């Protein structure tokens, strides 16, 4: 049995902050941000939380799938911005949906989180352990950002996307590759709460997201095409046979570089980075759900999904829609 996506949903916070607004906070400009990244604006939470965005996207995905919440066996939320250290966002979403026959847990793999989630869902469905899986990518990255650091605060946005997967004899996930390199963890990181136990007396303060942008850029333009090429080989497909390549929306220039490397037209690489910026684990499921809503996905289409991020982590998969 293959893992097949039968429903998708997305939710963004109501508030939109454009590049001109950010230029009133840090020394930057619409021109710099657009030219270097392709980002025009981002959605930022005010009332919303990671949990509320995740639950909103999940409700739409469930409705789109035709399944009831009680029919879900597994709820996974890919996130690095859970509202609570414990319980997981997945448990809170499970409670809100009433998906009480499911097991629920979070996945921490940064911007590759949704890819890792697909990998896990595929393994559980293939093995016959679970049949129906709700996979969500949800982030409020804005709370991890140092809003005085122009090199990071302009890049990210908040949001959530979700997919319902079920066991299917045909189509669905046909090949996957995932990887990690913990040797490079410092390239992109966010330190957690310092330990205040009486014998440790840490003087550190809670961290903000720190990134060596150029290192991450180099890693992405090298690893993503290699990972996609390997996945295509595993599926015995050529790059031409792929209808769309959905890449993590981190930087328009990274996406263009991957298209060039794979010798494919940029039209095959849909983007929403202009409107959403980088929403980490939420970026792929938001893009997928928006394309589905727009009627751009048709039965038999072959899609590549690929993500990369902190860890370092990366992954790619091929889905037959
Ligand atoms: O999902 C997680 C994965 N993350 C990524 O994929 C990010 C990958 N990296 C990137 O996308 C790019 O490296 C960035 C967009 C982060 C930066 O672009 P860049 O072309 O590598 O710029 P840079 O870091 O080399 O900076 C160039 C200049 C610097 O000024 P000087 O030293 O040349 O005077 C920066 O200080 O641009 C300056 N700069 C800015 N200027 C205006 C950096 N940030 C800004 C800013 N506005 N927001």
* Residue 278 known to be catalytic: yes
Q: Which among 134, 153, 125, 140 is positioned nearest to 91, based on CA atoms?
A: 134
Ligand 1: does its nearest atom lie under 6 Å from the Cβ of 278?
yes
**Which pair of tokens denotes residue 60?**
């739409």
pLDDT tens figures, 149-200: 999 999 999 999 999 999 999 899 999 999 999 999 999 999 998 888 889 8
User: Residue 304 Cα, ligand 1 centroid: separation in angstroms?
Assistant: 27
Task: Find out whether the beta carbon of 283 lies less than 6 Å from any atom of ligand 1.
Answer: no
Give the confidence band of 230 by pLDDT, cuts at 50, 70, 90. Answer: very high
Give the span between the Cα atoms of 303 and 306, in whole angstroms. Answer: 10
Three-class SS string for the chain?
CEEEEEEEEEECCCEEEEHHHHCCCCCCCHHHHHHHHCCCEEEECCCCCHHHHHHHHHHHHHHHHCCCHHHCCEEEEECCCCCCCCCCHHHHHHHHHCCCCCEEEEECCHHHHHHHHHHHHHHHHHHCCCCEEEEEEEEEHHHHCCCCCHHHHCCECEEEEEEEEEEECCCEEEEEEEEECHHHHHHEECCCCCCCCCCCCCCCCCCCCEECHHHHHHHHHHHHHHHHHHHHHHHCCCHHHCCEEEECCCCHHHHHHHHHHCCCCHHHCCCCHHHHCECHHHHHHHHHHHHHHCCCCCCCCEEEEEEEECCCEEEEEEEEC
Ligand 1 mean position, distance from CA 294 (Å): 33
Q: How confident is the model at residue 245 (pLDDT cuts 50, 70, 90)?
A: very high
Q: pLDDT tens for residues 48-85?
A: 999 999 999 999 999 999 999 999 999 999 999 999 99
Q: Can you give 29-90 as a three-state secondary structure string?
A: CHHHHHHHHCCCEEEECCCCCHHHHHHHHHHHHHHHHCCCHHHCCEEEEECCCCCCCCCCHH
Q: Which of 91, 111, 227, 276 does the annotation list as catalytic?
A: 111
The whole-model pTM stands at 0.97
Across the beta sheet with 172-180, the strand order is 172-180, 313-320, 302-309, 244-247
Tell me how far apart the alpha carbons of residues 78 and 181 are, in angstroms, rounded to a whole number.
Answer: 18
Whether the CB-CB separation of 112 and 216 falls below 8 Å is answered with no
Q: Binning pLDDT at 50, 70 and 90, where does residue 217 land?
A: very high
Task: Categorize the per-residue pLDDT at 202 as very low, low, confident or very high, splitting at 50, 70 and 90.
Answer: confident
The answer, yes or no, to whether residue 206 has pLDDT greater than 80, is: no
Residue nearest to atom 48 of ligand 1 (CA): 150
Ligand 1 pocket check for 223: Cβ under 6 Å: no
Residue 280 alpha carbon to ligand 1 centre in Å: 17
CA 114–ligand 1 middle distance (angstroms)? 25
CB 37 less than 6 A from any atom of ligand 1: yes
111 tagged catalytic: yes
Average pLDDT, the chain: 97
Q: HSE of 74 in the Cβ direction (CA atoms, 13 Å)?
A: 25
Q: Percent of the chain having pLDDT more than 90?
A: 95
Q: Which atom of ligand 1 is nearest to the CA of 248?
A: 1
Specify whether the backbone of 263 is left (phi greater than 0), alpha (psi in -120 to 50) or beta: left
- The stretch 260-269 carries a mean pLDDT of 97
* Res 113: pLDDT: 98
Tell me the pLDDT band of 106, cut-offs 50, 70 and 90.
very high
Residue the block writes with tokens 């009486």: 198
Which of 213, 219, 310, 313 has most ligand 1 atoms within 8 Å of CB, for mutation?
Answer: 213
172 lines ligand 1 (CB under 6 A): no
CB atoms within 10 A of CB 211: 18
Cα–Cα distance measured from residue 220 to residue 201, given in angstroms and rounded to the nearest whole number? 38
């Amino acid at each position: 049995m293959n893992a097949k996506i039968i429903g998708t949903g997305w939710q963004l916070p109501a508030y939109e902050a454009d590049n001109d607004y950010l230029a009133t906070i840090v020394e930057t400009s619409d021109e710099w941000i657009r030219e270097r990244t392709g980002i025009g604006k981002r959605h930022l939470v005010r009332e919303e939380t990671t949990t509320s965005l995740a639950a909103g996207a999940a409700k739409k995905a469930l409705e789109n799938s035709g399944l009831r919440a009680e029919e879900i066996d597994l709820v996974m939320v890919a996130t690095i911005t859970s509202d609570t250290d414990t319980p997981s966002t997945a448990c809170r979403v499970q409670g809100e949906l009433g998906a009480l026959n499911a097991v629920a847990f979070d996945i921490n793999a940064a911007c590759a989180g949704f890819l890792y989630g697909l990998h896990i869902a595929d393994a559980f469905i293939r093995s016959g352990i679970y049949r129906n899986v709700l996979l969500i990518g949800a982030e409020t990255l804005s709370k991890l950002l140092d809003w005085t650091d122009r090199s990071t605060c302009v890049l990210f946005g908040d949001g959530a996307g979700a997919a319902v997967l079920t066991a299917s004899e045909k189509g669905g996930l046909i090949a996957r590759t995932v990887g990690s390199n913990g040797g490079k963890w410092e390239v992109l990181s966010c330190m957690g709460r310092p330990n205040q136990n009486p014998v440790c007396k840490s003087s550190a303060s809670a961290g903000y997201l720190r990134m060596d942008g150029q290192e991450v850029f180099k890693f992405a333009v090298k690893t993503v095409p290699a990972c996609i090429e390997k996945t295509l080989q595993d599926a015995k497909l050529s790059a031409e046979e792929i209808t769309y390549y959905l890449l993590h929306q981190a930087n328009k220039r990274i996406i263009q570089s991957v298209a060039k490397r794979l010798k494919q037209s940029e039209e095959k690489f849909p983007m929403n980075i202009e409107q959403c910026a980088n929403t980490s684990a939420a970026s792929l499921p938001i893009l997928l759900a928006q394309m589905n809503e727009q009627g751009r996905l048709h039965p038999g289409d072959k899609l590549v999904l690929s993500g990369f991020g902190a860890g370092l982590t990366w992954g790619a998969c091929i889905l037959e829609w």
